[in-house]
Chain A
């Protein structure tokens, strides 16, 4: 009993994602990765203690000191576009020979393909590079150490990965969001700030999730308006 973590992998996932309720869209893949033995003979022994019996609440306890593997696997699974089979293959390959060129390419390619969602959720390309670099490092052990977060740094919690929950608990019309955001950006480019603000306001109202890009553009418009206000005040003072 001393060689296993008290919390189950689902408990640990709930902590990482800051929720009390894991949606099936995340719970089922995690079960497949941690509990199913098929296609897991190389990585599973490094994470799950298979010998412990008689804990009805926790049939697949995580080995002591390996709790970070749950967080890391969530990140990898997310970056691999939620493809559970591919995630298992990656874990097998990593357990056998560490990070390989093949998966490096795969992660980069998927980052490009998922640009809509990544863009809206604030996944930063540099962070994906950093994750790949970390995976390549000989010092790093995916089953023990903590991967950096792929998300744009949350000031209070730089390693926050909870946006994964957002992405998987709603059906999100990424293309619609992106289209509307781009419309706002076009208005912004044409200096039609009032129209841009209106599009952004409606988008924020409709969006089921927080959209960092919308907040960033709004901030830019506010800065321009404040600058114009300052110049206008001076102009008025000079005229009168």
Chain B
């Protein structure tokens, strides 16, 4: 069982650290049929969740990240880990991870383009990822949250 938990954590962290593992091509999102929902495995549902999150963030749609990231947290604490996830829970979990990865990929080390700092272009974002990011999102007070607010929560503005 120990190994399972370690495995689950590894899967989780590999998603957070490896930028190139982001499902950049979420083409399957528009092709998914209802029939395929009985066939997908947990990993595919998680990827679907990641894609849903990315699509939402791109389209300025709001996400319920408390629910999603609580799922990541529960999964971490659950003895059976990934095995006990339902299909819906896998999607939710993927959404949380997709959001964190998307924000990290887009903003980390990027220069802050804010009028306030026009005179100083040495200010960049430093974004949280992994467990810390999950914990931040779990503790949001509002039910649904948009891209700018998520970035504000996950990323600090620091001198380069």
- Which A residues fall within an 8 A CB radius of B? 191, 193, 224-225, 227-232, 234-235, 238-239
CB atoms of B38 and A239 under 8 A apart = no
| B87 A230 Cβ-Cβ under 8 A | yes
Q: What are some 9 contacts across the A-B interface (CB < 8 A)?
A: A224-B38, A228-B34, A230-B88, A234-B88, A235-B37, A235-B91, A238-B52, A239-B29, A239-B52
State whether the Cβ of B86 lies closer than 8 Å to any Cβ in chain A: yes
- Give the interface SS of chain A, mostly helix, strand, loop or mixed: helix
Which single residue of chain A is at the shortest CB-CB distance from B90? A231
Give every chain B residue within 8 A of A224 (Cβ-Cβ). 38
By a beta-carbon cutoff of 8 Å, the part of chain B in contact with chain A is: 29, 32, 34, 37-39, 45, 48, 52, 55-56, 86-88, 90-92
CA distance A224 to B35 in the complex (A): 12
A231-B45, A235-B32, A238-B56 known; A193 vs B87 contact (CB < 8 Å): no
Q: By the criterion CB–CB under 8 Å, are A231 and B88 in contact?
A: yes
Instruction: State in angstroms the CA–CA spacing of A234 and B55 once bound together.
Output: 15
B37: which A residues are within 8 A, CB to CB? 228-229, 231-232, 235
What is the CB-to-nearest-CB distance from B13 to chain A, in angstroms, rounded to a whole number?
Answer: 25
Name the residue in A191, A224, A227, A232 with the highest tally of chain B Cβ atoms < 10 Å from its Cβ. Answer: A232
Complex CA distance for A4 and B88, rounded to whole angstroms:
65
User: A234–B45 Cα gap in the complex (Å)?
Assistant: 12
For the complex of A and B, 6 pairs with smallest distance between CB atoms: A231-B87, A228-B37, A231-B88, A228-B38, A232-B37, A238-B52
| A231 touching B86, Cβ below 8 Å | yes
Given A235-B48, A239-B52, CB of A227 within 8 Å of CB of B34:
no
**Given A227-B86, A231-B45: A191 and B38 interface contact (C-beta under 8 Å):** yes
**With A224-B38, A228-B87, A238-B52 already in contact, 4 other A-B pairs whose C-beta atoms are closer than 8 Å:** A227-B86, A230-B86, A231-B90, A235-B48
Residues in B whose Cβ lies below 8 Å from that of A228: 34, 37-38, 87
**Once bound together, how far apart are the Cα atoms of A193 and B34, in whole Å?**
13
B142 shortest CB reach to chain A, Å: 18
B32 neighbours in A (Cβ, 8 Å): 235
Distance in Å from the Cβ of B80 to the closest Cβ of chain A? 16
B91 proximity list for chain A (CB < 8 A): 231, 234-235
Chain B contacts for A238, CB-based, 8 A: 52, 56
Complex contact A193–B38 (CB within 8 A): yes
**Cβ-defined contact, A191 with B39, below 8 A:** yes
Chain B residues positioned under 8 Å from A232 (CB to CB): 34, 37
Residue of chain A at shortest CB distance from B86:
A227
Q: How far is the CA of A232 from the CA of B52 in the complex (A)?
A: 12
Question: What distance in Å separates the Cβ of A48 from its nearest Cβ neighbour in chain B?
Answer: 57
Chain A residue numbers with a CB within 8 Å of B86 are 227, 230-231
Distance, CA A1 to CA B150, complexed state (A) = 89
Contacts of A231 in B (CB 8 A): 37, 45, 86-88, 90-91
Give the nearest-CB partner of B63 in chain A: A238
